[in-house]
Structure 1
Amino acid sequence: MSKASKHIADIEAALKSHGTASSDFDLNPGISLPHGRFLREAAVLIPLIAVQESIHVILTKRSSALKHHPGQIAFPGGKKDPQDADLIACALRESHEEIGLPHTQVNVLGALPSHETVTGFDVTPIVGIIEPGFRPRPEENEVAEVFSVPLTHLINTDHFLVEGRHWRGSQRHFYTVPYGPYYIWGATARILRALAERLT
């Protein structure tokens, strides 16, 4: 079995195990969240693609012109629309819109437990293998860049750091997992940390 095939098998096994939901507030136990708060459903795709003998994760850098989270590193994805049959359909539709990924080129492996964001979304990360030959076509109004990071970098918990910044009158802590010139942090890093914890 090749290294790439072993990683895929490990991920499939990890996704079958039970896990707990994550949150942007995991590292901030002092923050009090209102009971009965309304969270909007959303989904992102964690797109895995073979690069030679290794598996990479495709990520995007959001356009600096966007109103929300400009310039941040993110998975392709977004809020669930009424026409989406389910959250998998949502993740695949958004991936097609943002990076030109046809749903026919995605083999869905499963999903991680949902993740609550500070912006009020309940995000379900969908994990999928992308068939070879995919060439990204970023939607220029939303996506400034499409790039990939070796999975081995992102599943090594030693590569994750905890940093902090002032937010709404208090210090908020969050995960980061830098890679070269890319500063991966916030919900994206927390979701990757959840995947790393399952695989280690």
Structure 2
Amino acid sequence: MELDLARLADYRPREVERPSARAAAVLVPVIEREDGDHLLFTERSPDLEAHPGEMAFPGGGYEPEDADLAGTALREANEEVGIRPEEAEIVGRLDDVPGPYGHVVRPFAARVPDREYRPDEREVVEVVVLAAADLTDPAVYSVEERRNQEGETVGLPFFRVDGAVVWGLTGFVLARFLSIVSSWEPPGGFPGHPMLDEGERFRGE
């Protein structure tokens, strides 16, 4: 399955402005292979304070040395899995997503080479590459209820592919990305993001 990344050029992403939140960014790495496009994820170390043991896109918090948030995403991808900034072709960005640890995350999609990537063992247990064709199979997607830090029950998107589980914040980013660059729509519609104010809602919710 080939993803139409050119659609990102016309997409107008939502920006979330929260003075008290720390800015962060992730890279959504797309790898082109003969059998179609694939996405690169990391399995985060269980020892990390934020999102321990979860599947995620490479990324992290903005640092003063970063030129901008795109620079943050590229720096973190280089530190976590060795994607060099010069070999990542950023093709667009997605909606800002608030995170549960006081961050607002800005995702950037990029083409990256199909080669072996070596994880930083302090942060990443494994690099996982999943086919877009598998991720857009309606059978792998579900919305499941979880309790947030306030004890409220919220619906979160889950993708289950070959033993890998992508959910939570990364699930929201992935669902929005796939809905833009392919004909995929989440079965049953997008779950409402539990940390977005009414004026910040995803288009399509």
On whether the aligned pair clears a TM of 0.5, the verdict is yes
- Aligned match of 2:147 in 157, 163, 166? 166
Q: Mapping of 1:41-60 within 5 angstroms?
A: 41-60=23-42
- Give the equivalent residue in structure 2 for 1:141: 122
Structure 1's 113 and 170: CA in aligned 2 closer, same or farther, altered over 3 A? closer
- Matched-pair contact (CA < 8 Å) for 2:8–2:91: no
Q: 1:104 to 1:53 in 2, by over 3 A?
A: same
- 1:154 is the counterpart of 2:148: no
CA contact (8 A) 1:49 1:131 kept: yes
CA contact (8 A) 2:50 2:101 kept: no
* 1:10-159 matches, cutoff 5 A: 10-20=4-14, 38-132=20-114, 134-156=115-137, 159=140
- Does the Cα contact within 8 Å between 1:155 and 1:193 map onto a contact in 2? no
1:1-16 alignment, distance < 5 Å: 4=2, 7=3, 10-16=4-10
Further displaced range: 47-56 or 153-162 = 153-162
The verdict on how the C-alpha distance between 1:59 and 1:36 changes in structure 2, with shifts beyond 3 A counting, is closer
How much does 1:144 deviate?
A: 0.3
TM-score, length basis structure 1: 0.82
1:94–1:178 Cα change, 3 Å:
same
1:186 equivalent among 168, 190, 195: 168
Secondary structure at the residue paired with 1:183?
Answer: strand
**Alpha-carbon distance in structure 1 between the residues aligned to 2:70 and 2:18:** 26
Work out the CA distance in 2 between the residues paired with 1:109 and 1:130: 11
Query: Structure 1 stretches of 5 or more lacking a match?
Result: 23-34
Does the 8 Å CA contact 2:42/2:128 hold for their aligned counterparts? yes
Q: CA deviation at 1:119?
A: 1.7
Structure 1 position 64, deviation (Å): 1.2
Worse overlay, 178-187 or 151-160: 151-160
> Following TM superposition, where does structure 1 have runs of at least 4 consecutive aligned residues deviating by more than 6 angstroms?
none
Q: TM-score, normalised by structure 2?
A: 0.81
Percent identity over paired residues: 30
- 8 A contact 1:117–1:187 mirrored in 2: yes
3-state SS, counterpart of residue 131 of structure 1: coil
User: Structure 1: how far apart are the matches of 2:19 and 2:65?
Assistant: 24
Q: Retained in 2: the 8 A contact 1:156–1:196?
A: no
The answer to whether the 8 Å contact 2:8/2:92 transfers is: no
Further displaced range: 48-57 or 157-166: 157-166
- Map Cα deviations across residues 66-97 of structure 1 (whole Å, 9 max, x no partner): 12221100000001100000111110100000
- Superposed CA deviations along residues 94-151 of structure 1, whole A, max 9, x for unmatched, are 000000111121111111121111222111111000123x321100010001011111
SS where residue 110 of structure 1 aligns?
strand
Q: Structure 1 residue 173: deviation in Å?
A: 1.7
